[in-house]
Amino acid sequence: MSSDQPNGAEPQPGNAGQPTKAPRTMSATTTRRALAAVAIGAVVAAIATFAIAGGFERSENLPTHSGDPGPQATASVEGEAFASAIAGDCLDWTPSNDPKEDRKDVAKVDCSEEHRFEVAAPLDLSVYPGAEFGPGSRYPGALRFAELRDEHCVPAVETYLGSRFDPYGKFSVGLMFPSEAGWTAGERTLRCGLQFSGTAGTLLPFSGRVAEQDQSNVWDPGTCIGINQNVPTDPVDCVQPHAYEVISVVDLGTQFPGSMPSVEDQDKYLEGVCTQASNEFLGSADALRNKTLTLFWDNLELDSWLAGSRRINCSVGKETDTGGFSTITGSAKGDILINGAAPVPPPPTPEGRSMPTPLPGAAPVPGR
């Protein structure tokens, strides 16, 4: 069986501001443009995977309405767990790099345990108007399954969550559908649901029902996000090449308990909070500047706020001249390499010289 991913899941670094102690900043435009490039590449990869493997394969990379990966097929025609799954059931399986084996052992699990799919609603194509999905009909392609997900699963998820779905959050809208063999045998019931995927489309395990948790798209401090062609991918060990490292999780609800703060108010608050987090994480107020890194943070969108999301990440990376990310190896807490070379600290700031703080999204101050 297969499922697809929404955006989610996509990490979405947002607007960045400029701390006062000599670091540089990265704008929201930069980070979101980088993530958009990932999503576009994911679409192409997903279509190619379907064309080669056909049916049950790792085709999680079709876009959802939030820009994340897409539908996946079931490998088993008789899969009891999938066939009997109803809204509120949680499904899990053992991932495999072999498309013929992946998702063959789909089972229902308690939602408090780790799982990869939460069912929001069944989708019975046997009652679909017309003959498109009737007996003997041709197996739908990847794009058609993606259309069905967007047409039926997005509203099904919104109904299931009581309109509390965060389209920019950790979870994405997914669709699980029969393999080509199952389709030929007459299987026509699909499952709409929720899933958690990395930026590159890998389905990741999560615990708890989505409705009962903050959907904020955040990673734990110390998480390093991989890199491919200067754009972020999925979490990796920090000794591996990566785009940036998460240094803190900030709950905006503690500072703004009422209505949603404007982006400007978020930036004013986060400038100080993320700067302090950077100093503590890296060990000193000069470490960010000496390592030539960029401090940036996310902003919450209105849809996220209304869905109950309140948390954002502060992160450090290094922006390239073309708007993407440089490749970093090693945790920012210790010695790092940037594009294979040790960073060269800039000259010290002359005594008594004032270094102005750029507005969020502004170009870096020369020499920083």
Q: What is the pLDDT of residues 226-242, one digit of tens each?
A: 999 999 999 999 999 99
Beta strands at 311-317 and 294-297: parallel, antiparallel or unpaired:
antiparallel
pLDDT over 70 at 4, yes or no: no
- Counting the structural domains of the chain, the total is 2
Strands 72-74 and 171-178: parallel
Domain that holds residue 233: 224-338
pLDDT, average across residues 351-359? 52
Helices (H), the chain: 28-53, 80-84, 142-148, 154-160, 180-184, 252-255, 263-282, 287-290, 302-306
**Residue at a domain's end among 178, 212, 246:** 212
- Shared domain for 150 and 249, answered yes or no, is no
Residue 16, classed as helix, strand or coil, is coil
Q: Are residues 93 and 154 in the same domain?
A: yes
Q: Does one domain contain both 271 and 141? A: no
Q: Among residues 212, 245, 275, which one ends one of the domains?
A: 212
Average pLDDT, the chain: 78
Q: How far is CA 35 from CA 32, 99, 250, in A?
A: 5, 26, 21
In a domain, 348, yes or no: no
Residue-level pLDDT at 355: 52
Tell me, yes or no, whether 108 and 182 share the same domain: yes
Which residues are paired to 294 by β-bridges? Answer: 24, 317
Mean pLDDT along residues 102-119 = 91
The answer to whether 60 touches 5, Cβ cutoff 8 Å, is: yes
Tell whether 317 is covered by a domain: yes
* 228 shares a domain with 205: no
Q: Are residues 188 and 231 in the same domain?
A: no
Asked whether residue 150 falls in the same domain as residue 229, the answer is no
- What is the C-alpha to C-alpha distance for residues 149 and 145, in angstroms, rounded to an integer? 6
318 and 206 part of one domain: no
Residues 103 and 138 in one domain: yes
Same domain flag for 153 and 175? yes
Whether residues 200 and 281 fall in one domain: no
Q: Percent of the chain having pLDDT more than 70?
A: 72
